[in-house]
Amino acid sequence: MEGTLNFSVSGEFITDFARQRFIETKSRKVGVDVLCKCLIGFPEDLAMDVVSGRAKLIGINEIKVVPDCTFVEPYSWIQPCNIEDCECGWIAPDGRVFGYSEYNQNKMPHECLAERIVQRDDCGIVIEDDTPQRPYYHVEQAGWIKFCPTMAIADCKASAITENQQKELVKFMKSHNYVLTLGFNSTANYMQVRSMSTIMLGRLLNILPR
């Protein structure tokens, strides 16, 4: 028995399939590869937008790209939060904040957060499988800064912090009524920290007592 098999491809199906692969594997690259294989010649930057929820494919057989605003991330990934609601955490160079609402030094919160941060593929941190260093080390080396009440507000391994990080630090200090401890005897309030250059603030943070 012979017959004709007809089928159609919808943009919505391809979009959902690529995003699901990203969620399952926790790798945007996997989702991007799916799109680029399904649609020969599809630009990688557009594929990244589709997988990340900033754009989507529509249409049947004739596929079009349109804007989208859908939250697409693996369920286990730690999510950014408002620094005004945090007592401790990390600030990324782009200003995203990952933190806890309570601070308990005995529970090593920065160590625990670092382990979850490096699971994200958009944190700018690449760890080789055979590396001996802990996630905490790699987060610091990537220019993230940590904050909490008992550590003089911040600690920075990079040569300078970014403007976005400085803005978040100022918000943290203002909302919690904290001052920045510089060395052993001097302090700075949020107004003074806000007026500093990022290079100066980075240098001051680097000389904080450990």
Q: What is the pLDDT of residue 210?
A: 37
Mean pLDDT calculated for residue range 8-27: 88
Task: Note the pLDDT of residue 159.
Answer: 57
The answer, yes or no, to whether residue 103 has pLDDT greater than 50, is yes
Cβ proximity of 72 and 81 under 8 Å: no
Q: 196 to each of 85, 180, 186, how far by Cα in Å?
A: 24, 12, 15
Tokens of 7: 């089928």
Tokens of 117: 């941060």
The model's pLDDT over 155-202, given as tens digits with 9 standing for 90+, comes to 555 556 889 998 998 898 888 888 777 666 677 888 888 888 887 787
Contact call for residues 180 and 170 (beta carbons, < 8 A): no
Cβ proximity of 19 and 31 under 8 Å: yes
* CA-wise closest residue to 153 among 193, 112, 111: 193
What residue segments make up the domains of the chain, in order of their start? Answer: 11-67, 83-206
**Residue 46: CA count within 13 A, CB half-sphere:** 15
pLDDT, one tens digit per residue, over 19-31 is 999 988 888 899 9
- The total of other beta-carbon atoms located within 10 Å of residue 172's CB is 27
Q: What pLDDT sits at residue 66?
A: 93
193 to 38, 152, 167, 173, 188: CA distances (angstroms):
51, 13, 9, 9, 6
Q: Which of 106, 188, 195, 197 is nearest to 154 (CA)?
A: 188
Residue 143 or residue 100, greater confidence: 100
Any residues with CB less than 8 A from the CB of 14 and at least 6 apart, and which?
Answer: 35, 38, 39, 57, 63
Model pTM score: 0.73
Q: Please give the pLDDT value at position 152.
A: 47
Say which DSSP state 182 is in. E
The tokens 């302090």 sit on which residue?
A: 187
